């Protein structure tokens, strides 16, 4: 189903998302997603260090 979505389809979806949420809201959402990914990586690295230290 998703194989048929090309560049024009993605552009239309992006325009709809920008119209619905606005540039400011979309920017803040993406910033929060980035912070979440960063904290997830730090948590995984900390867990790996704890497992390595205890072995």
28/21 Cα distance (integer angstroms):
10
Mean pLDDT of 43-48: 81
**pTM of structure:** 0.52
Cβ burial 3-36 (10 Å sphere, 16+ → b, else e) = eeeeeeeeeeeeeeeeeeeeeeeeeeeeeeeeee
Please tell me which residue, 22 or 42, carries the higher pLDDT value: 42
- pLDDT of 36: 94
**Cβ(26)–Cβ(18) below 8 Å:** yes
Contact assessment for residue 29 and residue 21, using Cβ atoms and an 8 Å cutoff: yes
Q: Is the confidence at residue 44, as pLDDT, over 80?
A: yes
For residue 55, give the 3-state DSSP assignment: coil
Least confidently predicted of 2-6, 7-11, 18-22, 25-29 = 2-6
């Amino acid at each position: 189903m998703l194989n048929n979505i090309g560049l024009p389809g993605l552009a239309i979806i992006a325009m709809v998302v920008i119209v619905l949420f606005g540039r400011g809201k979309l920017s803040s959402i993406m910033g929060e997603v980035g912070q979440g990914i960063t904290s997830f990586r730090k948590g995984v690295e900390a867990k790996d260090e704890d497992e390595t230290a205890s072995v």
